[in-house]
Structure 1
Amino acid sequence: MTKTIIGYPRIGAHRELKFATQKYFKQAITAADLQATGATLRRTNWATLQAAGLDQIPTGDFSFFDTTLDTAFLLNIVPARYQALGLAPLDEYFALARGYQGPAGDVKALSMKKWFNTNYHYLQPEFDQDTTITVGDWQLFDQFQEAKAQGLNARPSLVGPYTLLRLSRFLDGRTPRDFTVALVAAYTTILAKLVALGAEWIQIDEPALVFDQSDADLALFHDLYAPLLAAKGDAKILLQTYFGDVRDSYATLTTLAFDGLGLDFVEGRTENLRLVTAGFPSDKVLFAGLINGKNIWRSNYQTVLDTYYALRKATELIILSTSTSLLHVPYTTANETQIAPSELAHLAFAEQKLTELAELDEIRAHGTASPAFAANQQLFATPRVAADPVIAAKIAALTPADYKREPARSLRLREQADTLGLPVLPTTTIGSFPQTAAVRKNRAQLRKGAITEAAYTEFNHAETRRWLRLQEELGLDVLVHGEFERNDMVEYFGENLAGFRFTENGWVQSYGTRGVKPPIIWGDVARTRPITVAETVYAQSQTDKPVKGMLTGPVTILNWSFPRADVSPKLSTEQIALALAEETLDLEAHGIRYIQIDEPALRENLPLRQKDWYTAYLDWAVPAFRLVSAQVQPTTQIHTHMCYSEFADIIDAIDALDADVISFEAARADLTLLDVLQETHFETHVGPGVYDIHSPRVPSVDEIVGIIHQILDRLPVENVWINPDCGLKTREEPETLASLRNLVAATQQVRKELVHESQPAL
């Protein structure tokens, strides 16, 4: 055994799973049809992996929505409110993922969170007083048997108990310690059943080990695995980590009875290499994550081999692997016809990374005389792209004043209150409206040359006018133009900036059925023309109400693109920020007084170890945002938006963005962030999202009124905006209108209550 991977993309090279699942949601196909699509995608993936010569092929990495949810569902960690619906298993599973509203009842979805430092999202399991852990039949065993039936050397995989506990939410006073015994028993049952089905190796994913570990954390890990490993029988257990290093837990991992340790030698290279070369157990196999599973650049074979040979000094039992699951990269460059071959040669998607593993395996067996090694060396012999001296000069000329907005925010907010004339609890949306089939068709026809640019623009303008009228009728206070000209928010900006490349089929799963197509930051970034000005100014000309300018922030553009590997993230982000600063001033010059600069991915690349948060990231990410907005007038109101992540622990950094208003997720998650805002006297005005746009359910007026009351119990009314928790592009039009109608009605009801409360008693 010489090479394997941690996991493979699952949505299909052409998003087949997305489209089949959406048909199932609309009752256009049956559960059996959806399962058949899943089986076809698995067979295709496994055939690809087998053809690449992998010695072990992972199973359990396929999911209809999320593998963390799969593990929770397998273990019956399903809150009573979902079980009470009485749905079939697949429908109960989807109710957890996206909520349910129908004849059986009305429930919200589980909270959705960022998966470590990626743009993938997981569903957060809930443990409460009713949680009873038992092992069911959900997917894991069937998928392993499918692979075995195809003659594969399959290695089943699942999220481990420690990571499950670290990432979950605990209610009713429960703690992780309350569930350790039951989890050990359940995982013991799972291992025994997999062995009985023919499993030799079993992969248990514990990426939570790359967080900072306290003594209590390590004790919890030990107390889970000591009894579990004692009962593993004939199973060989691969403890798999990724996204960083295991400096805190290495001693524990090497003394417990694991048969293999999977370590990341890309993001965790420095520390993991130090740990292994200082001593690695002779009774364990090292699954070395040497191929970058998160970025799309070709590996430099010499660099990889340098790490490999350093590891060989500690152990010869080394399996070549990827640093993470290949879930985070597109399927294959073979589907790309618009990127020049000379540029495509620098890119490696999932299928090409399989080739890299095979070539590296050949090189380590037969030496660097291999033609593959020579070709790789030639690829890296000269710089891929030259630096732009004009952009470099702009970066060099930046001074502290370029990052500081005047006057202070408290003074600006007073000026804005006086000049903008908004009511108490102003209402707005985050930016986008439903991207209907007609909107997508219009964009596709332009790209195919089937319509003119003028016809394309007129269609978008008609949609903008229609939605402006709808927003006016709904009674929203600050309007948006709807973003009908935009595909993906980051890709749209990339298409209008120098320095980017784009794929045709580079889809990557973000959550559930949602796929994104990240652009590639190829070289230095600059603004060559106005990006959003024409559409925003047109929208403002069609209404007397204010229209927000909508920009994607520099950190999010970086984090939701495939970044360069030849320059620092800081430099790329500064270049993007300079380009966006020009756009911001252009919007202001055209009379736009509300400008939203979205940073939903601010926390995404936050280092997983707290000591690195500021020095390695926030110390340049926060100023990059300020660079975009610092030069506007005090009466221009700067908004920003964030979602999906835990923000309480970086609340000071968020306030330091120096925005005037921030909107964020609240309805899908609990409201603990509001408590933090209250405790820290958070100065930025806030729009806690009052309903979850990722679910098709429509919140009632009473539900939203209740959420607004909870917000006002914690925050001053003059600081609060009312809005959904994210953009509405993925929703259907009827549910969007119904939800917004209830949002406005709830706000108006609370406004009346506030007026009544302010009147003196007779």
Structure 2
Amino acid sequence: MKTYAYGFPRIGKQREFKKLVEGYWSKRVSEEELFSGIGEIERKREKTYRKYVDAFPEGEMTLYDPMLDTAITFGVYKVGSLNDYFELCRGKRALEMTKWFNTNYHYLVPDFEERVPNFSIEKPIWDRHEKAKKNVYLIGPFTFLKLSKGLKREFFEGALKELTGLYIEYMNSKNFLSVHLDDPALVLELSKEDWKLIEEVYQVFSYAKCSVNLFTYYDSVDRLELLFNLPVDGIGIDLVHDRGENLKQLEKIDREGKILYAGIVDGRNVWRVNPFKIRSFVEKLGENIVLTNAAPLFHLPVSIESSSLPDELKAKISFAEERLKELNLTANIEERESEVKEWIKGLTLPFGRNEEVRKRVSLLKEDDFERKPSYEERVKVQKEVLKLPLFPTTTIGSFPQTEEIRRIRLLYRKGLLSKEDYETFIRGEISKAIQIQEDLGLDVLVHGEFERTDMVEFFAEKLEGIATTGNGWVISYGTRCYRPPIIYGDVSRRAPMTIKEVSFAQSLTEKPVKGMLTGPVTIISWSYVREDIPIREVAYQIALALKDEIEDYEKTGIKVVQIDEPAIRERAPIKKRLWNEYFEWAIKSFRLCHSSVKPETQIHTHMCYSEFSEIMDYILDMDFDVISIEASRSKGDIIKAFEEVNFNRQIGLGVWDIHSPYIPSVDEMREIVDRALRVIPKENFWINPDCGLKTRRWEEVIPALRNLVTLARNLRSN
């Protein structure tokens, strides 16, 4: 039985990719050194592939994002230098960023600006396909256009025909032997018109001089038989996250000799598989089967070897390299039976059960998910207590994590700095941040989160039932990476998690300081979540821990609490027919966090880089008082979502893209606000950045925040 794998992480075991690209940005790495280093990372990835599997795609590497690379290759953007390239990633011309399907990977969104596309084949600054000949990775033309923006429906058909023709020209001119066509948009809920168009336009692949294999993942394909009728050599499908729908269709399809790339090891979660069970399952699928992963492996850390996890947990999980091993074990099970038995011996050992937590969840009643009084009543109380001006200003939570802060935190983690000295340092940073905010004139302050490495990892370290990996890095976007924790057991709060730092910050100012928490859906979404109990129970366990924290905030005089849920849209199922079930538990978990707070406690939430127009009713049902969302990269396009609903809450639209070092002027920020005020009453409007400021430098933060405050003052005086 043959094996195939794709999407192996580009980050590197020691984050080599991040260090290399960011070294170029800071002028410590030359252009030649950058290209050489990227090539070396690619060689290491290919060496790992070859160790375990029979085949894999070439040309998967990127300098930032494959969607941008595709846009440049086919002439959507003309790029004459590396600086031009990175300007589209993080400069003044930076493209909008959003989540890749329902994952935490962000891609750059090609924007056709409502014009008819004019495609062409361009020679890129860095040709990732220059040495790739055998089996080349390409994002499929349907996925590329479907995930772009600004392309009107009446132009979509013509654009797809033109672009697909260029794909054939490109593939044939390069003399590729085979092409891996990544087309995950085929798992979306597509219209009859979409399927008819795919069926018609993809006939062009019959003109390819090389073999073409079409890969889908993250969910089932609603018209799987149509894909097997296309003139391609193989179809890759997800048999892990398809809820059995792909399998049900396969039973009725005559594959006509086409290869089935059976995605049978999970590319999105870490729980170790049993090769005996997989092999038994696969053998029922028939002949001409190739074993592969059920989603790209870049959603996983590189290898379990470099993680600092307890042995009991290591025996239950796999990262990217271990997934390759599982494919190898499954394909060669006859001669490696003893190794397989050793591989699975830890799967049934109990780990992380807490009966008290389970009982608390089982006793929840519907009243526990309802906040009283209504928003209309409590907003009057909050205005009287907080006494905020029109257009109140705030930030999203974090302030710059300087090299000194990271150095001190590392010393403390290694035991080279006492707890007392560490806490004294953190209090000093909080004091500086409060003074800066006071001097700037912000209205609702934050403590800066200097003690936090990551908004999910920080809480994972303080909660029972969740483990952190130490070195399990995964890319979120570009070079930005994070370490997803592993929710392995029942979750509970050992002790107050954030009270000490936030209450200290509040003692330094008369202005309100926000208590900062990460919500249950985001903790789940940016972690690897257990699969042995319903996910709603995991969410309610986390929500109860956060509920206890909020009650402690109120006891210490904190009057504003922000529960960040940037992942709530991202986590929504790809199939919209499953949305009601998902949002029912997602919203209830958020409401459970704050249902018992006092009327005067103002509850904020934050969401970023997602498409909101289709979920506005769900969002309102979360019953927050204030929401802050991204609007800078989309140039305020999010406002369209508010034109069709009665949005009777307060909102802060991000007027500054913090993912770029560019400092926007007052006038540039004003453009977003003026557009928003056509729809949102000024009494409900807050002024804030679009996300936390952890990755920025103070030299960028202070002038940008000064402009932000100036904007608010100008608006008040109008």
TM-score by length of 2: 0.97
Alignment match of 2:82 (pick from 90, 108, 117): 90
> What secondary structure, in the 3-state scheme, does the structure 2 residue paired with 1:489 have?
coil
The residue aligned with 2:668 is 703
Question: Does residue 121 of structure 1 match 2:109?
Answer: no
> What secondary structure, in the 3-state scheme, does the structure 1 residue paired with 2:119 have?
coil
Aligned-residue identity in percent: 40
Give the CA deviation at 1:403: 0.6
Give the CA deviation at 1:147: 5.3
The 8 Å contact of residues 452 and 458 in structure 2, kept in 1 or not, is answered as yes
The residue aligned with 1:493 is 459
The residue aligned with 2:8 is 8
Distance 1:590 1:406 in 2: 21
> What secondary structure, in the 3-state scheme, does the structure 1 residue paired with 2:609 have?
coil
Letter in 1 for 2:71: A
Distance 1:439 1:216 in 2: 55
1:98-117 → structure 2 map (5 Å cutoff) = 98-99=90-91, 107-117=92-102
Give the CA deviation at 1:584: 0.6
The 8 Å contact of residues 117 and 604 in structure 1, kept in 2 or not, is answered as yes
Letter in 2 for 1:190: Y
Question: Does residue 328 of structure 1 match 2:317?
Answer: no
Letter in 2 for 1:677: F
Distance 1:456 1:37 in 2: 37
> What secondary structure, in the 3-state scheme, does the structure 2 residue paired with 1:722 have?
strand
Distance 1:200 1:283 in 2: 19
Alignment match of 1:168 (pick from 129, 145, 148): 148
Alignment match of 1:350 (pick from 320, 334, 343): 320
Distance 1:299 1:176 in 2: 41
The 8 Å contact of residues 428 and 723 in structure 1, kept in 2 or not, is answered as yes
Question: Does residue 644 of structure 1 match 2:609?
Answer: yes
The residue aligned with 2:76 is 77
Give the CA deviation at 1:64: 1.4
Residue ranges of structure 2 left out of the alignment (5+ in a row): none
The 8 Å contact of residues 593 and 635 in structure 1, kept in 2 or not, is answered as yes
Letter in 2 for 1:301: P
Question: Does residue 216 of structure 1 match 2:215?
Answer: no
Give the CA deviation at 1:188: 1.2
The residue aligned with 1:456 is 422
The residue aligned with 1:239 is 214
The residue aligned with 1:618 is 583
1:352-501 → structure 2 map (5 Å cutoff) = 352-363=322-333, 366=334, 370-380=337-347, 382-385=348-351, 387-501=353-467
Summarize deviations over 1:270-314 as a string: whole Å, max 9, x none: 0111111222312210011001011112112243224312312xx
Letter in 2 for 1:34: L
Distance 2:152 2:568 in 1: 31
Letter in 2 for 1:146: K
Summarize deviations over 1:126-178 as a string: whole Å, max 9, x none: 124374211123388x4445356xxxxx4211111101111111168973234
The 8 Å contact of residues 277 and 310 in structure 1, kept in 2 or not, is answered as no
Letter in 2 for 1:374: K
The residue aligned with 1:542 is 508
The 8 Å contact of residues 262 and 294 in structure 2, kept in 1 or not, is answered as yes
Summarize deviations over 1:527-583 as a string: whole Å, max 9, x none: 110001000000000111110000000110111111112222111111000000000
The residue aligned with 2:159 is 179
The residue aligned with 2:67 is 68
> What secondary structure, in the 3-state scheme, does the structure 2 residue paired with 1:263 have?
strand
The residue aligned with 2:687 is 722
Letter in 2 for 1:240: F
1:585-604 → structure 2 map (5 Å cutoff) = 585-604=551-570
The residue aligned with 2:123 is 137
The 8 Å contact of residues 127 and 174 in structure 1, kept in 2 or not, is answered as no
The residue aligned with 1:760 is none
Summarize deviations over 1:571-601 as a string: whole Å, max 9, x none: 1111000000000110011100000000001
Give the CA deviation at 1:88: 3.6
Give the CA deviation at 1:223: 3.4
Summarize deviations over 1:622-678 as a string: whole Å, max 9, x none: 000000001000110000000011111011110000000000011111434323223
Give the CA deviation at 1:377: 4.6
Distance 1:497 1:476 in 2: 32
Distance 1:184 1:352 in 2: 36
Give the CA deviation at 1:706: 1.9
Question: Does residue 259 of structure 1 match 2:233?
Answer: yes
Summarize deviations over 1:420-452 as a string: whole Å, max 9, x none: 100000000000001110110011000111111
The 8 Å contact of residues 655 and 682 in structure 1, kept in 2 or not, is answered as yes
The 8 Å contact of residues 108 and 668 in structure 1, kept in 2 or not, is answered as no
Letter in 1 for 2:216: T
The 8 Å contact of residues 290 and 322 in structure 1, kept in 2 or not, is answered as yes
Question: Does residue 609 of structure 1 match 2:609?
Answer: no
> What secondary structure, in the 3-state scheme, does the structure 2 residue paired with 1:638 have?
strand
Residue ranges of structure 1 left out of the alignment (5+ in a row): 100-106, 149-153, 754-762
Change (3 A) 1:147 1:632: same
Alignment match of 1:669 (pick from 634, 639, 643): 634
Change (3 A) 1:732 1:752: same
The residue aligned with 2:29 is 29
Change (3 A) 1:92 1:647: same
Distance 2:552 2:696 in 1: 31
The residue aligned with 1:528 is 494
Give the CA deviation at 1:97: 1.2
> What secondary structure, in the 3-state scheme, does the structure 2 residue paired with 1:681 have?
coil
Give the CA deviation at 1:269: 4.7
Give the CA deviation at 1:57: 2.1
> What secondary structure, in the 3-state scheme, does the structure 2 residue paired with 1:242 have?
coil
Question: Does residue 285 of structure 1 match 2:262?
Answer: no
TM-score by length of 1: 0.92
The 8 Å contact of residues 329 and 350 in structure 1, kept in 2 or not, is answered as yes
Question: Does residue 659 of structure 1 match 2:624?
Answer: yes
The 8 Å contact of residues 631 and 672 in structure 2, kept in 1 or not, is answered as no
> What secondary structure, in the 3-state scheme, does the structure 2 residue paired with 1:525 have?
strand
The 8 Å contact of residues 162 and 220 in structure 1, kept in 2 or not, is answered as no
Deviating more after overlay: 448-457 vs 577-586: 448-457
Change (3 A) 1:27 1:677: same
The residue aligned with 1:694 is 659
Summarize deviations over 1:689-748 as a string: whole Å, max 9, x none: 111111110000111122211111111001111100000001111111111111111111
The 8 Å contact of residues 8 and 325 in structure 1, kept in 2 or not, is answered as yes
Give the CA deviation at 1:379: 2.9
Distance 1:335 1:172 in 2: 47
Question: Does residue 272 of structure 1 match 2:246?
Answer: yes
The 8 Å contact of residues 58 and 156 in structure 1, kept in 2 or not, is answered as yes
Q: How many residues align?
A: 717
Give the CA deviation at 1:181: 3.2
The 8 Å contact of residues 331 and 506 in structure 1, kept in 2 or not, is answered as yes
Summarize deviations over 1:466-521 as a string: whole Å, max 9, x none: 11111111111000000000001100001111111111210000000100001111
1:716-755 → structure 2 map (5 Å cutoff) = 716-753=681-718
Question: Does residue 562 of structure 1 match 2:528?
Answer: yes
> What secondary structure, in the 3-state scheme, does the structure 2 residue paired with 1:731 have?
coil
Change (3 A) 1:326 1:447: same
The 8 Å contact of residues 224 and 249 in structure 2, kept in 1 or not, is answered as yes
Distance 1:64 1:477 in 2: 40
